[in-house]
Amino acid sequence: MKKIILIIVFFLVAAFVTGSIMAVKTARRFIEEKRQNILGLALEIKSYDVDWKHARLVLEGITIYPAGQMDEQHELASAESLFVEVSPLDVLKKKEFHAKNIIFEKPKFSYIQLSRKEKNWDALDTSELKGEESKKEEKEKNGDDWLIRIDQITIKDGEVEYKDKVTGQHLELNDVDVDITNIVNEPDPKKLPTSIHMEAQIDKTSGHLKLDGNANLLGKGINFDLKANLSSMSLLYFAPFYAGSAPFAITSGSLAMSSTAKAEESMLHSNYHVSISGLHVSDGLKAKMVDAFLEQAGRHVDVNASVSGNLETGEISIGSSTSKAITDQVMSQAMANSPLGKPEELLKKGGEQIQKNVQQKIPTPKVPTAPKIPRLPGF
C-alpha cells in the first residue's frame, strides 16, 4: 500500500514539475513574442531566468514604454526585477496566459499629464483582459487566441512620480508597497471585486499615505471605493496645488487628512477631513483677517471639504479642486469667526461711521429767515 501511495505521489510531482516546465517555457515564449505590444505596452528586458520550483519567470532590468515608442522620453516605468508566477494547467489546457502573481521589485513609475486630455499612460489597453466576445472572435479570426488573466499584482519598494505639465503640479511617492488582488472582468460597475492596499511615503517628508478599498479595474470607466489617511506633514510641499486658489501666501503650517472617495463610471464623489496646525499666512487684506482668526483659534483649524467631477474628461484636477475647497472653508470660517467682527456687522458699522463722519465734516446749513417789515400807521 505504501508503495502505491509513493508511486502516486511521485507521478503527481513529476506531472506538476513537467507541467511547470512546459508552462514556464510557453509563458516565456509568449512574453518574448508579444513583448512589443502587451496591452498596448512594450517591454525591454535585459535578461531572463526561470524558477522551476515556483513555476515562475524572473525578468531582470525591465523598462516599459508605449508600444512602438521605445525611447527614453517615452519611458513609463522600470523595475530591477519582475517575477511572473504562472498557472501551468491554464497555460497548457486553455492557452490562457494566467499570471497568478506579478511582483515588481523596486519599480519606478512616471505618470505625466501632458495636456488636459492626454496622459503618458493612455497607451495602456485593457481590452484583452475584459473577456469581451467581440475581442475573442477577433483574436480567433487572426489566429491570436491567447487570453490574459492576472490574479494579483504586488509592488515592493517602489517610486511614483506624478507631474502635471499644464498646472506645474508635482508629487513624488517613495517606499511604495501595493497589493492588488482578484483582478477579474466584472461588467457591472457597481460591483467592486478587486481589493487594493497601498502604503507610501510622500517624497522626503514626514507624510505617510495609507490607502485601502475596492475597485472594478476592468469595468466601464473608473470605478472604486477607497479610504485614505495622510499623516501630518508640511503644507508648503503642496504649494503648486493650492497656488492660485488661496488669496494669501502660506508661510508655515502642517496638514493631516483622512478621506473617502467613490467613483462610478468615472464620476467621482469624495469627502475630506483636514486638520491644519501651526498655520501662518501673509500678503493682502484677506491674509490679515485670516491671520487674526488663526491667532484666536490657536493656529489650528479643522476643515471638511468635498470634491466631485469626471475623472476621464480632464475637467477635474483632484489636487487643485481639493485645495480650493479647503481654502474656501478656511476663508468661510475666518470671516464668520474673525475677532474683527462678522462681515455684515463690519459693513453696518462702516456705513454708520461714514454717515457720522459726513455729518461732522459738513454741518447742516441754516436757512435764513425773511426780515420783518414794520407796519405803517393806518395799516
Instruction: Report pLDDT digits (tens) over 75-85.
Output: 888 888 888 88
Task: Show Cβ contacts of residue 24 under 8 Å, excluding neighbours closer than 6 positions.
Answer: 50, 52, 55, 56, 57, 86, 88
pLDDT on residue 346:
47
Residue 193 sits in the same domain as residue 340? yes
Residue 84 sits in the same domain as residue 22? yes
Total count of domains within the chain? 2
Residue 281 sits in the same domain as residue 147? no
Q: How far apart are CA 273 and CA 335, in angstroms?
A: 20
Residue 25 sits in the same domain as residue 83? yes
pLDDT on residue 320:
78
pLDDT on residue 17:
44
175 part of a folded domain: no
pLDDT on residue 142:
47
* Residue 317 backbone phi and psi in degrees, to 5: -115, 115
Structural domain span for residue 306: 189-354
157 part of a folded domain: yes
Task: Show Cβ contacts of residue 328 under 8 Å, excluding neighbours closer than 6 positions.
Answer: 305
297 part of a folded domain: yes
Tell me if residue 122 falls in helix, strand or coil: helix
Tell me if the pTM is above 0.75: no
Residue 149 sits in the same domain as residue 254? no
Residue 200 sits in the same domain as residue 336? yes
Burial of 122 (0-12, 13-18, 19+ CB in 10 A): exposed
Does pLDDT of 353 surpass 70? no
Tell me if residue 375 falls in helix, strand or coil: coil
Does pLDDT of 257 surpass 90? yes
How many angstroms separate the first and last alpha carbons of the chain?
Answer: 159
3-state helix, strand, coil in the chain (%, to 5): 30, 40, 30
Place of cell 492588488: 180
* Residue 307 backbone phi and psi in degrees, to 5: -140, 135
285 part of a folded domain: yes
Nearest CA among 258, 299, 256 for reference residue 279: 299
Q: How far apart are CA 35 and CA 42, in angstroms?
A: 5
Residue 122 sits in the same domain as residue 227? no
Percent of the chain with pLDDT over 90: 24
Does pLDDT of 341 surpass 70? no
What H or E segment, with its residue span, contains residue 101? strand 96-115
Q: How far apart are CA 208 and CA 230, in angstroms?
A: 6
Burial of 248 (0-12, 13-18, 19+ CB in 10 A): buried
Residue 18 sits in the same domain as residue 129? yes
Q: Give the residue with greater pLDDT, 252 vs 345.
A: 252
Give tens-digit pLDDT for 10-38. 443 444 444 445 555 665 666 666 666 77
Distances (CA, A) of 24 to 58, 242, 340, 363: 10, 50, 74, 101
* Residue 246 backbone phi and psi in degrees, to 5: -100, 125
pLDDT on residue 271:
93
The confidence band for 216, taking pLDDT boundaries of 50, 70 and 90, is very high
367 part of a folded domain: no
**Highest-pLDDT range among 44-48, 111-115, 194-198, 301-305:** 194-198
Does pLDDT of 104 surpass 50? yes
pLDDT on residue 328:
84
Does pLDDT of 330 surpass 90? no
Nearest CA among 210, 208, 181 for reference residue 196: 181
In DSSP terms, 368 is beta-bridged to: none
Give tens-digit pLDDT for 194-213. 999 999 999 989 999 999 99
Residue 144 sits in the same domain as residue 254? no
pLDDT on residue 256:
95
Q: How far apart are CA 325 and CA 30, in angstroms?
A: 49
363 part of a folded domain: no
Residue 214 sits in the same domain as residue 331? yes
Residue 292 sits in the same domain as residue 197? yes
